[in-house]
Structure 1
Amino acid sequence: MGEAAGADGIRAYPTGGRSDRIHECLLRTTEELLREGGVPAATVDAIAARSGVSKATIYKHWPCRTALAANAFGRMMADALPLPDTGSASGDLTAQVRQVSAFYASPDGRVFAQLIAACVDDPSGAAYFREYFLADRRRAVAQLWQRAVNRGETRPGIDADTATDLLFGPLIFRLLTNHHPLTEDEADKLTKTTLPALLLAP
């Protein structure tokens, strides 16, 4: 139903005054349900009942509930993780790793883990997860990294993607496996170990 997806797997949705208001209403409703009960609570039936928008209309905007949940969750995380500006790459990245670790340790982290699990067998939902969560987060960290590059603080040959994976990948692994706590002390251990490989000594 609706428009075919583009090469990135993201489908065009209806736009215009009323359609834009419906789109925003559905995202807000989904955010509420995710906060209340995680991905299992954010069913299309529940979203339709609470928003007053028909299921047929929901499917005109997103191909599946995982796609809608991923879109809504990306907004939730962006709002919860403003970019720090401490004046140094070490300070910025340390603060951001702490923020992300605390986010994953919160109930929102459980929703994130549920979304990852849901996307494993849902290619259309996974495309939205990559675009509205992963890509947005990587763009945000890339801004921090570019500040560091502009100030001459980074080691040559290291790009933002590599730095992002090294700093934040362990947090996701710890969230999914629960083999190590997501505390501020542990977050600081990660940055103290990783940053010397990424940044020049001050």
Structure 2
Amino acid sequence: MMKAKIGRPRSEKSQEAVIKATHELLHEQGGAGLTIEAIARRANVGKPTIYRWWPTLADIVLEAVLLQAATKIMVIHFESLQKTLSQFLKQSMKTITDGDGAHLRFLMAHAQKDEDFRKRFRDNFTAQRRTVLRSIFLQAMERGRISPEQNLEMLIDIVFGTMWYRLLIGHAPMDESFADELTEVVIKLVQVSPA
């Protein structure tokens, strides 16, 4: 996660208010309506407070997304890779459809414009989510469900690439049915018995 700038320690109450205001504004108006001024007004904090704790607007959104992902997308390891992956993807889809999709679209758009932020996004959010998915595949490999020769990084790219393409384009729903379909595709790719 981003390290705060040197200075006074964060007030937990103010930090929570800023993150809450960021979530609310993104849900209500999308990325176009999100500004430091709007967040400060909604959170009832001064703009200097926000600038002292976060280097950019996108970093506030990034922290909000990281906090959400850590609490809403848990990995429960079942005996079956299919069940574990399906559960993980269903939680991911639910988080996206419950509103975090706007957050992710905002972050991806900002990462294309700001190279420094792109690195922070990759090193924090993207790396963390890849680590979680990799742990699912590694456990399956240890149990003999995936060949040791399987390219796990490519599997991770396939899963997240498919999800993010659908998130960005919006051509089809991101729901439980999609989570099940994507799970089936992965299971067939690794030629693992669903049992």
TM-score tier after normalising by the smaller chain length: 0.7 to 0.9
The structural deviation recorded for 1:99 is 2.6
Question: Which residue identity is paired with 1:121?
Answer: K
SS of 2:52's partner is helix
Question: Which residue identity is paired with 2:141?
Answer: V
The answer to whether structure 1 residue 124 and structure 2 residue 126 are counterparts is no
Question: Which residue identity is paired with 1:112?
Answer: L
Tell me what 2:140 maps to. 148
Aligned in 2, Cα 1:185/1:28: closer, same or farther, shift over 3 Å?
Answer: closer
Tell me what 1:3 maps to. none
SS of 1:19's partner is coil
Tell me what 1:135 maps to. 127
Give distance in 2, aligned partners of 1:77 and 1:172.
15
Tell me if the contact between 2:10 and 2:53 (Cα under 8 Å) persists in the aligned partners: no
Tell me what 1:5 maps to. none
Tell me what 1:183 maps to. 175
Tell me what 2:53 maps to. 61
RMSD: 2.8
Question: Which residue identity is paired with 1:168?
Answer: F
Give distance in 1, aligned partners of 2:29 and 2:37.
14
Tell me what 1:97 maps to. 89
Tell me what 1:196 maps to. 188
TM-score by length of 1: 0.78
The structural deviation recorded for 1:23 is 4.4
Tell me if the contact between 1:97 and 1:167 (Cα under 8 Å) persists in the aligned partners: no
Paired-residue identity, %: 28
Q: Which runs of 5+ in 1 are unaligned?
A: 1-9
Give distance in 2, aligned partners of 1:71 and 1:173.
22
Tell me if the contact between 2:22 and 2:34 (Cα under 8 Å) persists in the aligned partners: yes
Tell me what 1:19 maps to. 10
Question: Which residue identity is paired with 1:134?
Answer: T
- Within the candidate set 22, 41, 48, 1:49 is matched to 41
Give distance in 1, aligned partners of 2:174 and 2:168.
11
Aligned in 2, Cα 1:149/1:188: closer, same or farther, shift over 3 Å?
Answer: same
Give distance in 2, aligned partners of 1:30 and 1:199.
43
TM-score by length of 2: 0.80
Q: Which runs of 5+ in 2 are unaligned?
A: none
Give distance in 1, aligned partners of 2:95 and 2:181.
17
Tell me if the contact between 1:29 and 1:47 (Cα under 8 Å) persists in the aligned partners: yes
Give distance in 2, aligned partners of 1:127 and 1:25.
26
Question: Which residue identity is paired with 1:194?
Answer: V
88-97 or 35-44, which deviates more: 35-44
